[in-house]
Amino acid sequence: MIEVRGLTKRYGDKTAVDGLTFGIEPGKVTGFLGPNGAGKTTTMRCILGLDYPDAGTVTVDGRNYRDLGYPMREMGALLDAKAVHGGRSAYNHLLCLAQTNNLPKRRVGEVLELVGLAEVAKKRSKGFSLGMSQRLGIAATLLGDPKMLMFDEPVNGLDPEGILWIRNLMKALAAEGRTVFVSSHLMSEMESTADHLIVIGRGKLIADCSMADFIARSSGASVRVRTPMADDLIKALTAQGAITAIDDDGAVEVRGMTAEAVGDIAFEQAIRLHELTMVHASLEEAFMELTASSVEYHAGVPMAATASGSGG
């Protein structure tokens, strides 16, 4: 359980994070979304105590991160896969981290095996590809078998295979009951992974809701209809208050009306339909709309927090 309360962090004149409050629960993957520069990394640095907040508190399992007995057993965090000494071998990199938390040496070999780096364990990490560096960083987070995991943009620059691997790993970690908190500036990355979303823009909270809620509330749902009698249909639907448009491929796009209503009206008017589909605006668009407006309108909270308080 990670709790952020009223977190504010300024760098000089720039306010990177502005009164941020949210909680992250165990057993699911929580996506941390926001455009580049929204304050995601700063928030994560404050959680880990790398940066000191100007205001507010951050607790991990109810304590300051620096007060955790064995931090690596509580939290595995990967902020920057390249934040390693390139002259050190993968094995020694993990060993020096394991030693700080009195973790047994055998863990090093185990996590290297788990992430698929056992064969290059003795190689200096300078020569690693970004994908291999990410795997090394993830190996480090797993050393202490932590209850919580935090990843900052973990799939940046990875090939499709690597992306899939990380997604499955995050899901598996959450399925084991761990807290998984992962940031991204791309909604598409979260779509198939996250159970819960925290969206920020310009350092402020925009949304804190389940993925399902986010999808449901995404504005711009429309109904796509293909019919040989388009003119009749448009006349009938606009009479009922729908907004219609013709797509490039000749299909009718209907807004402001459910698919059921469109079907019923067509039936009543004896209009033959060849296709009737509910279309969601892409989540990417919904997300961008949300964060763009946060910049313009100074971030109210359009989506109320729906975090259901369990355990923790």
**C-alpha span between 263 and 274 (Å, rounded):** 11
Q: Which is nearer to another protein, 147 or 280 (CB)?
A: 147
Among 12, 69, 127, 309, binds another protein (CB under 8 A): 69
Among 6, 57, 102, 159, binds another protein (CB under 8 A): 102
Q: Looking at 28-36, 100-108, 206-214, 271-279, which segment touches another protein (CB under 8 A)?
A: 100-108
Q: Is 156 exposed, middle or buried (0-12, 13-18, 19+ CB in 10 A)?
A: middle
Residue 130 binding another protein, by CB under 8 A: no
**C-alpha span between 136 and 231 (Å, rounded):** 60
* Residue whose tokens read 């763009």: 292
Paired with 204 in beta bridges are: 201
SS3 assignment, position 227? coil
* Residue whose tokens read 């084991």: 176
What are the contacts of 110-117 at 24+ separation with CB within 8 A?
111/139, 111/140, 111/142, 111/143, 112/139, 114/139, 114/142, 115/139, 115/142, 117/90
Q: Closest distance between another protein and the C-beta of residue 48, in Å? A: 5
The count of residues interacting with another protein (CB under 8 A) is 61
Q: Looking at 14-22, 30-38, 106-114, 253-261, which segment touches another protein (CB under 8 A)?
A: 106-114
Residue 106 binding another protein, by CB under 8 A: yes
Q: Closest distance between another protein and the C-beta of residue 149, in Å? A: 11
Residue 100 binding another protein, by CB under 8 A: yes
SS3 assignment, position 222? strand
SS3 assignment, position 274? coil
Among 13, 66, 268, 297, binds another protein (CB under 8 A): 66
Q: Closest distance between another protein and the C-beta of residue 263, in Å? A: 46
Residue 188 binding another protein, by CB under 8 A: no
* Residue whose tokens read 């509580």: 74
Which residues between 3 and 42 bind another protein (CB under 8 A)? 26-27
Say how far residue 285 (Cα) sits from the centre of its chain: 15
Residue 82 binding another protein, by CB under 8 A: yes
Query: Taking the alpha carbons of 308, 151, 215, 21 in that order, is the dihedral positive or negative?
Result: positive
Say how far residue 286 (Cα) sits from the centre of its chain: 14
Paired with 10 in beta bridges are: 15
Q: Which is nearer to another protein, 141 or 218 (CB)?
A: 141
Chain residues in the site for another protein (CB under 8 A): 1, 26-27, 45, 48-52, 61-62, 65-66, 68-73, 75, 77, 79-80, 82-89, 92-93, 95-97, 99-104, 106-107, 110-111, 114, 140, 142, 144-145, 147, 169, 172-173, 176-179, 311-312
